[in-house]
Chains A and B, each alone.
Chain A
């Protein structure tokens, strides 16, 4: 279907390099935890709700432990100690514990072991409950049609009204018109919040907050719609920003199917601290792996800031790095939706061939993964009629090259978040193009020395060179030189560094033990 014209030995070399890059960083990830990881572990233990100031209880507890300089032992450990003497309010219990003289000195060996065993048992029960929900979802999905037809990309659309109840109405309408995936866009500034808001959103900017309640409401509506249509409608949201692990956990609990989750996106596009993001992506991906959530990586963003033709190799290199990180977090290829996009300046010539070249290459480099194809965005302006034609070209490339998931372009991309009628136009034309070009890919062969083949080799060679450089100098240096997305960041810059904490030798996180498969 899709052809790859790159020497397999080079592909092998590139994968080795990506593995080396991830290993260098992984060692450091494994020595640290973050406030968000610790809050997630507490949430698994049922620490939910907000305190009197409106701040989530998980934040109050973790902040208090950090103030006392003891977070490196793991929040669950302290929760266990605090609740050992009775009481059910975690904030008060931790406060009381920290106030006692000698509170921080270790327990006797036996007590210590008993405490840890107890917390491990509870963690197993809670994780088992999470798994049960995931299995239930999988069984539900197995009984329904998935996608338009075998080989058609999943038609992915966005809802972004800022009111979850309007979002639900629009998501239902989209599903009825053929949407297979609904992405609920997050409110403008959420990625910079170091906590997850509570409850249903009705007044968001640019989207609704990713909250557990919003997840629940939307999934419930889509379950009902899926049942009615006999076709499964997937739900996705964003596990990005300062709360990647917590959102992954909430997504797992509410049976989300996909999450946007990238090893570098937060660093490059939201100016979140590098180590914070790297630690958080690891834990959040462990959760995704456990809960059968497909991640969508964010390489498509690189070519909205940098020139798409010029920077195509950064997409390819980054995907291999993202893959290496995902593997290290226990993710299977089938659950990694590599992101890329149809974004070359439409004023140039032969962009269709150049887009086909990249789309086929990404497809074939990750044959088992449900590659996620993004539509043109950056070069759209208010001319919605042109934009509609431009989107149809992306639909054609998507079906021809067998992309797994296609985010459908909106003709009003340059103006506002999608109207119902924009989604209607996009779904109708994508369905037409998929139907019309259903077997185009399998009938088509490209010349081994043609524009497509040469373009693939050129891009891959540059990707390989970038990986060589990154493996030699390290990822931190590469990011420092703006090698990805044209954005430079430093190790100590960005938001959230103070939330990165070194693990103590006796760091305790029974949830992580389960996710890493080493609980026994």
Chain B
């Protein structure tokens, strides 16, 4: 048992800072409303630290409250992508030795999402944050279709190349449009031989591993992902799928 609470000024004081807008003009009544709302959220000793008029019909609040809740940290579970990680040369050498052929990956940012920088960071030669992209790995055959790619087009390309892994990027997440897009992709994949065979990887700034698993992917990668994380993961997962013994 390892109970934790938010840490403000002192251990276990449970202090939390909140900021929000209410669609009412600033004033004594608005301030009281903010305080009552924060209490309704379950906070005690509520302090409305500031109320600012945001135009004539809105007000913006910063509040503090003391939360009574606690959590047993030992019982928290968060799935993580775990596997050994090799350097650039070592990974290439391993693929050469253990698979004897390049790993084929195809990737795209799907739907109407036009952001290419995320998927490019993973694929492009020059890579990201000083870490080489997949196109630079001699033992990867990496095909990046770019952005605004229809799910069906990505699947068709994966089929054509007999891809080992499909890499999907989604940057626009407003109103959960990314979920709609990847669900459409998964539906199409289900009718194909690739289903169950190709490794499905999902990435983007608002994506995490758990969410990717829930959506039917093998793994999810969030902000700050380096191409080498992806290269190692795909290699490791492919070995697993092919039943190669662990290293």
Residue numbers of A with Cβ under 8 A of B are 162, 169, 172-177, 188-189, 192, 205-206, 269-271, 304-305, 378, 381-382, 414-417, 419-421, 423-425, 428
Contact = CB atoms under 8 A, between A and B. Distances in A.
Interface in B120-175: 146, 148, 172, 174-175
B58 interface: yes
Contacts of B172: 188, 205-206
A192 B177 contact: no
B56 A176 contact: yes
A381 B223 contact: yes
Given A269-B114, A421-B54, 17 more contacts: A172-B55, A173-B55, A177-B55, A188-B112, A188-B114, A188-B172, A188-B177, A205-B112, A205-B172, A205-B175, A381-B205, A382-B223, A414-B205, A420-B58, A420-B60, A424-B52, A424-B54
Given A176-B55, A188-B112, A416-B174, A304 B117 contact: yes
A76 B58 CA distance: 49
B54 A173 contact: yes
Contact of A206 (B21, B174, B223): B174
A271 B146 CA distance: 10
B174 A417 contact: yes
By DSSP majority rule, is chain B's interface helix, strand, loop, or mixed?
loop
B117 A305 contact: yes
Contacts of A420: 21, 54, 58, 60
Most chain B CB atoms below 10 A, which of A162, A177, A269 = A177
Nearest to A173: B55
A262 to B, nearest CB: 15
Given A162-B174, A381-B223, A419-B21, A192 B54 contact: no
B177 A205 contact: yes
A421 B20 contact: yes
A421 B69 CA distance: 27
8 contacts: A169-B57, A175-B55, A188-B177, A271-B148, A381-B223, A381-B224, A382-B223, A421-B21
Contacts of A169: 57
A305 B21 contact: no
B70 interface: no
A63 to B, nearest CB: 23
Contacts of A419: 21
Contact of B114 (A173, A270, A415): A270
The 6 closest A-B pairs by CB, nearest first: A173-B55, A176-B55, A189-B112, A424-B54, A421-B60, A420-B21
B113 A192 contact: no
A414 B224 CA distance: 13
Contacts of B112: 188-189, 192, 205
Nearest to B57: A173
Contacts of A382: 223
A420 B172 CA distance: 20
B116 interface: yes
Nearest to A172: B55
A313 B21 CA distance: 42
B19 interface: yes
A366 to B, nearest CB: 28
B150 to A, nearest CB: 12
A169 B223 CA distance: 33
A222 B150 CA distance: 39
Contacts of B58: 173, 420
A472 B117 CA distance: 30
B22 to A, nearest CB: 10
B111 to A, nearest CB: 8
A173 B177 CA distance: 28
Contacts of B21: 419-421, 424
Contact of B54 (A177, A189, A378): A177
A305 B117 CA distance: 6
A421 B175 CA distance: 20
Nearest to A271: B148
Contacts of A173: 54-58
A494 to B, nearest CB: 11
Nearest to B114: A270
Contacts of A270: 114
Given A173-B58, A421-B19, A424-B60, A188 B113 contact: yes
A188 B20 CA distance: 26
A203 to B, nearest CB: 9
Contacts of A176: 55-56
A425 B20 CA distance: 12
A428 B57 contact: no
Contacts of A423: 54
A37 B105 CA distance: 42
Contacts of A378: 117
Contacts of B19: 421
A331 B163 CA distance: 51
A192 B148 contact: yes
A296 to B, nearest CB: 19
A304 B117 CA distance: 9
Nearest to A487: B116
A301 to B, nearest CB: 11
Interface string B45-77: 000000010111110100000000000000000
